[in-house]
Structure 1
Amino acid sequence: MQDDTTQAQTLPMTGTLDSRIGPLAFEGGYPTAESLTRLYDELDFQRAVQTYLWAIPLVSFAQWQEAHETVFDQQDGDLVLTTSFRDKLPILTANDTTPYVVGFLNLQRTGPLVIDYPKGQTAGGILDFWQRPITDLGLTGPDKGEGGKYLVLAPDQEAPLDVESYHIVQSPTNNLFHAFRVLTTDPQETEALNASYQAYAYAQRANPRQTRIILGTGKTWSSWPGSSLDYWRLLAKMLNEEPVHERDRMMVAMLKPLGIEKGKPFQPDARQQQILEQAAVVGEAMARSLSYAKRQPEAHIWPGTHWKNAVLLEANQETEHHTALDERTAWFYEAVTLSAGMTTTTPGLGQQYIGIQKDREGDWLQGGNCYTLRVPPHAPVKQFWSITLYDTETRCFIDTPYNIAGVDSRGDLIQNADGSVDLYFAPTAPTGKETNWAPTLPDRGWFAYFRFYAPTEPYFERIWTLPDIEKVK
């Protein structure tokens, strides 16, 4: 016989029903005034939490763009160059070994935009504001490293008639991210290629404005909204600047009772503001859970270890039957940008990212402890590997006075007799092991990315295994 307490409850005509959101009272089948208030508050709160998770890639780019425009005075077409540990400290899960040359622009302000891309050893790309790739530039783009002119159009813009010599690119969003990096190590060639990159309005092609490369040095900024209400302000701003795509119409409908509506200013009343602020707290906590405790079976790399795939979605963020919502939330909460090179499974190409948040015993990684990781010999990479440490709260480099973010196989590492490498993660370096050490901070949790550059067959076939990080007792 089934216990009465486990049976599903149905709405009474008159009486009170216990629920997970509190008692719900009815009179003649109608919810009481008190129950109506509780139900609408819960409805709007649930919708706010889900739209928070949905909007993470859009808001993340909006925050970065706003920082570039207000802190660096970046104008449409300009780029900001970050090279050092301190320069890249505000960027989510930045790569310590890669200089970034990044810009944002708005095609409604510029009209059709020309990118005059330089010939040479470069890799670049354009992403829409949902962080989906639109086109590569350079060696993997249509110009194949030979350079050329790209004409970038907003969703409602048409190409002029006299553009046969351009690579035409139609963007699904008005705001864009564009970036590139020079692959050569020659400083003079790097400087020349940086100076050759030009982005300007097609209408000004006869006398284009000079693109500036702005040094991202000595500035304080953040790539994540500074407050919970800032998150919603940026989302409202983006919805007013961008078209609503078919896949997002239901999510946009959920925002209307919260005071976020296309074509209207963001002016939430006291009730809406309270719900939005509470939902941002819960939404971020859920996003952090999706990132740091991935529950998809396919996240696991090697049985018996805590290493997991950091990227669980394709660059277009779609699957056969749905948009990769949880996977997208997890990645873009802790990182920015995604490309085909980061999702390819072709040996010898692109990169693979795996992450770890727990030690061998299953405990969260904490900055006050000392840990070690043995990287086995013959790492499956054609180029190199690196491990980078990040603060769990900021998802950026751990801010220590050492200005060290991780360890790179191209460095002068101490190797064991069999070719393996012992790495150390602790507040201070073990004596004589400084080159194999990355610093942590007491009272701060941390996680790590292990990056494989041009991974080879043993990685994809799971022949080569990376063990767990171990706490030194």
Structure 2
Amino acid sequence: MTKTALAAWALICAATPVFAQTDIANEIRDISTPNEFKTTIGTLQFNQGRPTPKTVVQVYDQLDFIRGVEVFLNAMPGASMVAMRRGQRSMGAADNTFVVFEQYLDSKTLFLTGATDSIYASSFLDLSKGPVVLEYPPRAIGVLDDMWSRHIADFGDKGPDKGKGGKFLIVPPGYKGKLPSGYHLARSRTNGVWAIMLGLGAGSGDQSAGVMQILQSLKVYPLAAADNPPAVDVINASGNVANLVQSNGFSFFEDIASLVQEDPADVLDPELTGQLAAIGIVKDKPFAPDERMKRILTEAAAIGSASARTMFFKPRDPAATLYPDSAWTTPLVGGSTFLRNGVRLFDARTAYHYGHAVVAPSLMTTAPGAGMQFAVAAMDANGDWLDGGKLYRLQLPANVPAKESWSITLYDPQTRSLLQTEALQPSLSSLNEKLKPAADGSYELWFGPKAPTGKEDSFLRTAPGKGWFAILRLRGPTKPWFDKTWRPGEFEAMK
């Protein structure tokens, strides 16, 4: 080998370890932790990668807090159902008893964004002792959801009976007994089931005929009593002062803990079950957090509620904004499963359950002429929150795209329930005979503390010092809604 070649080889051998050493040093830095660094939860300290006692406390406090927030957001469908059931029980309605709003829902009852232009009939069914039969009248629109707001079945117009009325046999999880024929079968993953009928007696004024139809045709009883079914208990809930809305505080977690005890351990997927277990909610074990954990979960509920409110009133998914430069948003992002291309839309699911109750593909469909669509507005045309002390005008162009009816209803942003003013049912509807369109078919609607002269029939009162938001509902929405060739106006603040 020549001297030149030897010299070159020596340079290569000398240089190679340096390059390797430099490369591995960068990698070691990348996978290592500094001895001290500042974060939003304070300064964290490590001894050659091992946490100091103070850092151990900081990290686990933060982890428990994060998991508490996750549970608040992800378990909201269950907490909402528990609150709904507790509210009905406070009215005197035991399980398998129907609560009927004979004179329509009003603002005395706190109920998530309920409508005022049709009669609700609602019951929580108890399957813990075996299957339950639900008999229902013709032309009903009804939904069965489990206690985690998961859709089970539709009945009535959108169900297998096609509006003729019929019988559903609702079967609890893990049931092995023989099932008779002659029923529409529905299998629930939970021992509790919410049955709600909507659209009964839709209209305005006296709807006693629709209520009598419910009373005469509705039955709920155990399968074991099918040969001699008892009469159903029905409670008129109109005017009841009751709360059917989930908690924003520590009791939220207590409600979830009680719900978990009602059903088999596998009623939820392992991910959510793991989140619950991480904060001490486990099947067949008491939920007994110490003072430290109570403090952490109380703050987690506060941040969870703040997050849910933000998702509901100011969604950041572009799909939730209906039109450019508009305050109108839709909570129906991802449909009844809150999925897009196989991806779960967590914010959409949280926002929906924070402000709404019923989950059903038939009601949330995008097929023209079917189901229901609704839009939410909490801001005016200038981007300011709607203020109960100001006067606003809203214009709806002619040919509102609703095959059956449309309505606009006002709600309290705190409770997400009907706005409480001297008007118990703060809603304007196409079913209202006094509400007349202009000569061109459009509608001019007014909102504020005092009606403009001559506008009383197209006016809804608000309360000074109290904010509000509105929901525009379209029953049987038609093609112009979906292709957006028709759009509502914005709320204009009047000077």
Settle same-fold status: TM greater than 0.5: yes
Q: 1:319 to 1:262 in 2, by over 3 A?
A: farther
Please say which of residues 449-458 and 141-150 is displaced more in the overlay.
Answer: 141-150
- Tell me, in whole angstroms, the C-alpha distance in 2 between the residues paired with 1:262 and 1:290: 30
Find the counterpart in structure 1 of residue 36 from structure 2: 16
Structure 2 portions without partners, runs of 5+? 1-28
Deviation at 1:106, TM superposition (A): 2.2
Deviation at 1:149, TM superposition (A): 2.4
2:322–2:329: 8 Å Cα contact kept in structure 1?
Answer: yes
1:387–1:408: 8 Å Cα contact kept in structure 2?
Answer: yes
Asked whether 1:127 is paired with 2:149, we answer no
Deviation at 1:246, TM superposition (A): 7.8
Deviation at 1:414, TM superposition (A): 4.3
Asked whether 1:312 is paired with 2:329, we answer no
Match of 2:159 among 127, 137, 141: 141
Find the counterpart in structure 2 of residue 4 from structure 1: none
**CA deviation vs aligned residue, 1:120-155 (integer Å, no higher than 9, x gap):** 222222111222221111222112233332211111
- Tell me, in whole angstroms, the C-alpha distance in 1 between the residues paired with 2:234 and 2:268: 36
Alignment map for 1:384-423 (pairs within 5 Å): 384-411=405-432, 412-423=434-445
- Tell me, in whole angstroms, the C-alpha distance in 2 between the residues paired with 1:152 and 1:139: 18
Deviation at 1:217, TM superposition (A): 3.8
Find the counterpart in structure 2 of residue 54 from structure 1: 74
Deviation at 1:87, TM superposition (A): 6.5
Asked whether 1:168 is paired with 2:189, we answer no
Deviation at 1:419, TM superposition (A): 2.3
- Tell me, in whole angstroms, the C-alpha distance in 2 between the residues paired with 1:285 and 1:62: 21
Find the counterpart in structure 1 of residue 8 from structure 2: none
- Tell me, in whole angstroms, the C-alpha distance in 2 between the residues paired with 1:168 and 1:130: 20
Q: 1:467 to 1:188 in 2, by over 3 A?
A: closer
Alignment map for 1:261-276 (pairs within 5 Å): 261-276=282-297
**CA deviation vs aligned residue, 1:148-201 (integer Å, no higher than 9, x gap):** 32211111113525x111222111221100022435777346403433211111
Q: Give the AA of the match of 1:428.
A: K
Please say which of residues 209-218 and 23-32 is displaced more in the overlay.
Answer: 209-218
Deviation at 1:226, TM superposition (A): 4.8
- Tell me, in whole angstroms, the C-alpha distance in 1 between the residues paired with 2:263 and 2:100: 27
Q: 1:422 to 1:147 in 2, by over 3 A?
A: closer
**CA deviation vs aligned residue, 1:292-351 (integer Å, no higher than 9, x gap):** 101111112222222111211322344442333211100110111122233222222221
Q: 1:11 to 1:472 in 2, by over 3 A?
A: farther
Structure 1 portions without partners, runs of 5+? 1-8
Alignment map for 1:152-167 (pairs within 5 Å): 152-161=170-179, 163-167=180-184
Find the counterpart in structure 2 of residue 455 from structure 1: 477
Q: Give the AA of the match of 1:156.
A: G
**CA deviation vs aligned residue, 1:265-293 (integer Å, no higher than 9, x gap):** 22211011111110110000000001010
Find the counterpart in structure 1 of residue 235 from structure 2: 214
- Tell me, in whole angstroms, the C-alpha distance in 1 between the residues paired with 2:134 and 2:246: 30
Deviation at 1:15, TM superposition (A): 3.0
Find the counterpart in structure 2 of residue 67 from structure 1: 87
- Tell me, in whole angstroms, the C-alpha distance in 1 between the residues paired with 2:71 and 2:164: 42
> What is the count of residue pairs matched by the alignment?
461
- Tell me, in whole angstroms, the C-alpha distance in 2 between the residues paired with 1:375 and 1:298: 22
- Tell me, in whole angstroms, the C-alpha distance in 2 between the residues paired with 1:349 and 1:116: 24
SS at match of 1:158: coil
Deviation at 1:224, TM superposition (A): 2.1
Q: Give the AA of the match of 1:128.
A: D
SS at match of 2:486: coil
Q: Percent same amino acid at aligned positions?
A: 33
- Tell me, in whole angstroms, the C-alpha distance in 2 between the residues paired with 1:456 and 1:255: 42
Alignment map for 1:322-333 (pairs within 5 Å): 322-333=343-354
- Tell me, in whole angstroms, the C-alpha distance in 1 between the residues paired with 2:441 and 2:161: 41
Match of 2:453 among 418, 428, 431: 431
Over alpha carbons, which structure has the higher Rg?
Answer: 2
| TM-score (structure 2 length as normaliser) | 0.88
SS at match of 2:242: coil
Find the counterpart in structure 1 of residue 124 from structure 2: 104
Find the counterpart in structure 2 of residue 293 from structure 1: 314
Q: 1:438 to 1:290 in 2, by over 3 A?
A: same
**CA deviation vs aligned residue, 1:395-447 (integer Å, no higher than 9, x gap):** 01111112241211232124333222211111222222111111212222211
- Tell me, in whole angstroms, the C-alpha distance in 1 between the residues paired with 2:227 and 2:79: 35
Q: How big is the alpha-carbon RMSD for the aligned residues of Structure 1 and Structure 2?
A: 2.1
- Tell me, in whole angstroms, the C-alpha distance in 1 between the residues paired with 2:178 and 2:446: 58
Please say which of residues 25-34 and 272-281 is displaced more in the overlay.
Answer: 25-34
- Tell me, in whole angstroms, the C-alpha distance in 1 between the residues paired with 2:318 and 2:98: 40
Alignment map for 1:217-366 (pairs within 5 Å): 217-226=238-247, 228-245=249-266, 248-366=269-387
1:122–1:183: 8 Å Cα contact kept in structure 2?
Answer: no
